Structure 1
C-alpha cells in the first residue's frame, strides 16, 4: 500500500514539474554534460535569466496586445 502511494506521489510530482517546465534546467544540464562535456554549466539563475531574455526578445513568444 505504501509503495503504491509513493509511486502515485512520484508520478504527480513528475507531472507537475513537466507541466510547469520546472524540469527544463535538469534536461539542459544533462544535454550540456553529454553533448559538450568541456563546457561550463550555467547556474539555474543564469539559465532562467537567459531563457527569459530569449523568450522576451522573440516576437512569437509571450503575449501581444495586437
Structure 2
C-alpha cells in the first residue's frame, strides 16, 4: 500500500466519522448561508450547535431526552 493509498483511505475514514458524528453540519450550514445571501450573518459554531440541539429536542419524532 502506497502513501497515497493510505492518505485516500484516511480521508474517507475522516469523512465518514465527520458525517456520522454531525461534525460537518456546521460547515454545510455556513456554506449554504453564504451562498444564498452573502450579506446574511452566519451564526457562530456555538450558536449553531445550541440552535440544532434545541430544534432536535423540540421535535417529537426524536423522542424524549433527559440530559
Q: Give TM class, smaller chain.
A: 0.7 to 0.9
Q: Displaced runs of 4+ in structure 1, greater than 4 A?
A: none
Aligned pair count reads 64
User: What are structure 1's unaligned runs of at least 5 residues?
Assistant: none
Write the distance in 1 (CA, Å) between the matches of 2:18 and 2:34: 21
Which runs of no fewer than 5 residues in structure 2 stay unpaired? none
Matches within 5 A, 1:1-66: 1-63=2-64
TM-score with structure 2 setting the length:
0.87
Bigger drift between 32-41 and 55-64 goes to: 55-64
Shift of residue 27 of structure 1?
0.3
